[in-house]
Amino acid sequence: MPAGGFYTQEVRRGGRRVGFRLVTLDGREAVLASVESRSRLRVSRYGVDLRALDEVGVPALLEAARRGWLVVVDEIGKMELLSQRFQEAVLATLEGDSPVFGTIMQARHPFADAVKSRPDVHVVTLSPDRREETAAEVQRRLRSLLGLPS
């Protein structure tokens, strides 16, 4: 099944993390957050560029859902949740017919908690001591979500 959406990737310089890049599955990129950003929107030491998320990430989610593809969203986290458009896109994809595969913050947040409590959402907690077991479980669930044989 084709997939669309985005993932976030660390930006490193000199061995230090200096930001995060948003990368769509079709190869578009934008800087989501940077220590050098002058944005008033801050998460820890990073200034967050909502325009990058709203103009690159959100359309990637909505286009994948419109096409009936697997929607990949990595991640539903503090930075992304600063965007109302992102929250609306996540809800729209969850309400649609496309399968959704994503990562979500474990910390409490009203929107994230609402997503995690949906009856159509299954949360798998990743921990270092259960890494292999968790990977196998995620693979099984993803195959099931896509209607593939186990």
User: Burial letters for 72-104: b for 16+ Cβ neighbours within 10 Å, e otherwise?
Assistant: bbbbbbbbbbbbebbbebbeebbeeebbbbbbb
Residue 53 lies in a domain: yes
Does pTM surpass 0.75?
A: yes
Structure tokens at 109: 């947040």
Closest C-alpha among 22, 21, 24, 20 to residue 44: 20
Residue 25 lies in a domain: yes
The pLDDT tens digits of the residues spanning 9-56 come to 999 999 999 999 999 999 999 999 999 999 999 999 999 999 999 999
Residue 150 pLDDT greater than 80, yes or no: no
pLDDT of residue 56: 98
The residue ranking higher by pLDDT, 140 or 109, is 109
Domain of residue 35 covers 3-124
State the total domains in the chain.
1
Residue 132 lies in a domain: no
The pLDDT tens digits of the residues spanning 85-95 come to 999 999 999 99
pLDDT of residue 27: 96
Q: What residues are paired with 24 via a beta bridge?
A: 6
The percentage of residues in the chain with a pLDDT greater than 90, rounded to a whole number, is 82
pLDDT of residue 49: 97
What is the domain-level CATH number for residue 28? 3.40.50.300
Length of the chain: 150
The pLDDT tens digits of the residues spanning 111-136 come to 999 999 999 999 988 888 988 898 89
**Band (146; pLDDT cuts 50, 70, 90):** confident
Residue 133 lies in a domain: no
